Amino acid sequence: MLETLDLGQHLTKAEYERDLLRYQVQLRELAWQLYQRKRSLVLVFEGRDAAGKGGTIRRLTEKLDPRGYEVFPIAAPEGEDKTHHYLWRFWRRLLPPDEKQIVIFDRSWYGRVLVERVEGFCSEDAWKRAYREINDFERQLVDAGGMVVKFWLQISPEEQLKRFEKRQDTPYKRWKLTPEDWRNRKKWGRYDEAVEDMLLKTSTLTAPWTVVESNFKWFGRVKCLKTIVDAVSKTLGYKPADPGTVGKPRKQRASTAKKRRRAAR
C-alpha cells in the first residue's frame, strides 16, 4: 500500500491558502454543530517522524474555539499509566462532549502495534492481540455516538532526512530531533511492515484510515482538513457553507462556477 502512494502531489501557494481557509472555516462551523448536538469527534494522527503531524494539528485548530477541543501529545507511558492496560490512559482522556467536542491525539494507542512491536517493548502475543482490542475500543466509541477519524502521514526516507537535517541546523527546532529519531531511520523497513499490518487490520467501516501523502506539507494539511470536514458533514447530515461563496450575489456565484467549468476543460 505505502509503495503505491504518489508522494509528489502538491499545491500552489494560492491553492493552499484558498483551500486551507475554506476548510478551517467549515470545520469551525461543524464544531458548533458538534457542540449543539453533544457529539464527540476523536482525531488520531500517526505517521513517520517529521511527517508534519504537529503542523497539521496547528492548522486544523487555528480557527476553532479553544474551549471546544483538547490536544493530547502521547509519549511513553509513565507513573500510573504504566500500571494499567495500555488503553486505559486513552480512555481516561476521552472527555464528554459537553466539555470537549473534539479530542486530538498526536500519536495514540497505535503505539502498541508500531513502536512497541518494532522495538520489542511488548511480547508478540500482546501486539497481535492488540488489533482486535483496538477495533473493539474504536467500535465502542462510535457506538456511543462518537466519530473516529484516523490519519497516517507518510513521507519518503529522502524527505525525512532533509527535515532531520533542517531541524539539526535550526536552533529553535533542534529540540524536536532526538537520537531515537536517527535510530528509527535504520529500521525503516521493519516500520513499513508494521504500518502495512496496522492499516490492513484496523481500517474498519466505523473507523477507517486515511493515508496522507505528506512529502509536500501544504498538500498533506489540506487533505487532512478536507477529510475531517467531509467525514463530519456526512455523519451529521449537515453541509457547512462554502466561505468562498458566502456574501456573493447569486449571479456572481453562477458566473464564477461557469469560469471554473471552462478552466477545467
- pLDDT above 70: percentage of residues in the chain: 92
What are the structural domain ranges in the chain? 2-264
Cα–Cα distance, 112 to 121 (Å, whole number): 9
The average pLDDT across 104-113 equals 98
Cα–Cα distance, 147 to 96 (Å, whole number): 13
Q: Kindly report the average pLDDT of the chain as a whole number.
A: 93
CB atoms within 10 A of CB 92: 11
The average pLDDT across 205-226 equals 98
- 11-33 per-position pLDDT tens digit: 999 999 999 999 999 999 999 99
| This prediction's pTM | 0.90
pLDDT for 210 equals: 98
Q: Assign a CATH topology to domain 2-264.
A: Rossmann fold (3.40.50)
pLDDT for 253 equals: 53
CB atoms within 10 A of CB 141: 19
